[in-house]
Structure 1
Amino acid sequence: MSGLPTALVIVAVVALVLVRQFRTERLSQDRKWWLLPAILAVLAVKDGSLTDPHHVATSVVLLTVELLVSVGIGIGWGLTTRVWADEHGDVWTKGTLATAGAWLGGIAARGSVVGIGLAMGVHLGTSSLMLGFAVSLLIRSGLVMLKANGERPAYVGAAAQPTWEARR
């Protein structure tokens, strides 16, 4: 996949992730939170255009910076996502205003990496953006799941309810 198809996949996934991050959503125990980032990463690597063939060393450095920025963005998304348990022990999530700030900061940071590359004459393709987004999403989802595993309802009534992982 190259160029336009990759860009369309990125736009579609970003739209899906944005909608899901900012609406109240119940987490399920069988949720495969790692699947979408894994698919995106495989598509990005399979494309084979992660680096600029004319500036390999510089593009590898820029890709590394992109991935480090992506780790930071994922941490920002994960830490700013609100996670709570209701009275039945179900765990819920919702992005906050700080999450929106993390999104905007992430866009600016990624734009800066691309801009630096272009100023140096290095072209990082859409595959590097897709891989970076996959890394951010994987870290965000992992942090949210860790936060969810630590959630316990403050009060569940007279009889203690099972934790959200144990409920069917």
Structure 2
Amino acid sequence: METAGSTPAPIPATTGAPTFERMDANILVPAVAAAVFVIYRQTMTRPTERRGILYVAAALVVSGVAGGGLVDSRHLALSLLLVVAELVSAVVFGVVRALTVRVWRDQAGVAWSRGTAWTLAAWAASFAARVALFAAGRVLGVASMTNSILVFVGVTIAVQALAVAWRGRSLPAPAVRPGDAAAAVAS
């Protein structure tokens, strides 16, 4: 009981796992920054063969998995189902976005790509699906960790990059014009 002039007892500090709010900022900021960077880069004309993006995707997945807490041990089956749904969603949306990217070969035979307005719409749809899965988990009582956002973004970026690169490799070689063949032999 407090008396006039006394100070209340301090509230004990919590130790252990970071709070959900703090973890949200620690995870959301890098995930959103990576996604915005990747989306911005996709609106530019770029070669289809890019290994650097795969390193970014791998770093995001490793960070998400290393952060732990991807499954809720109190609701193991349901939480595993949500993780699988997120992974399937990440793969599907990666493929869908890859199909919306314009891919072509220049005269030198280099494959190029550039995202379209449909690519941006597919990104919005993939984020909406991710938010819906997160909300579904919350409604069902699953303690969703935001680390799964890193895994989702990493997987979906990697799938899209691999699918666009495959589309670029699948394009036919540019036709050689008769004058170009003579110039190639002379050099």
- TM-score bucket of the superposed structures, by smaller chain: 0.7 to 0.9
Deviation at 1:107, TM superposition (A): 1.6
TM-aligned CA deviation for residue 138 of structure 1: 1.1
Counterpart Cα distance in 1 of 2:96 and 2:170: 18
Alignment partner, residue 129 of structure 1: 149
Structure 2: tracts of 5 or more residues without a match = 1-17
1:139 aligns to 2:155 (yes or no): no
Q: What does the per-residue CA deviation read over 1:101-151, in whole Å, with 9 as the maximum and x for residues that have no partner?
A: 211211221121111111112132221111111111111011011011122
Other structure's SS at 2:97 match: helix
- Which of 15, 21, 25 is matched with 2:42 structurally? 21
CA–CA distance in structure 2, aligned partners of residues 107 and 33 of structure 1: 19
Amino acid at match of 2:54: W
How many angstroms does 1:98 deviate by? Answer: 1.6
Q: 1:11 aligns with which of 32, 36, 61?
A: 32
What value does the CA root-mean-square deviation take over the aligned residues? 2.3
Task: Please tell me whether the aligned partners of residues 27 and 149 of structure 2 are also in contact (alpha carbons under 8 angstroms).
Answer: no
Q: Which piece of structure 1 moves more, 19-28 or 129-138?
A: 19-28
Aligned position for 2:56 = 36
- d(CA) in 2 for partners of 1:27, 1:78: 11
Aligned residues, how many?
161
Match of 2:135 in 1: 115
SS at match of 1:54: helix
Give 3-state SS (helix, strand or coil) of 2:112's partner: strand
Output the CA distance in 1 between the equivalents of 2:59 and 2:36: 16
Contact 1:49 1:125 in 2 (8 A): yes
TM-score (norm 2): 0.76
Cα distance in 1 for partners of 2:144, 2:43 equals 29
Any unmatched runs of 5+ in structure 1? Answer: 163-168
Q: Give me the TM-score of the superposition, normalised by structure 1.
A: 0.84
The correspondence for 1:57, drawn from 56, 77, 98, is: 77
> Computing the radius of gyration over CA atoms, which structure comes out larger, 1 or 2?
2
Q: CA deviation at 1:64?
A: 0.9
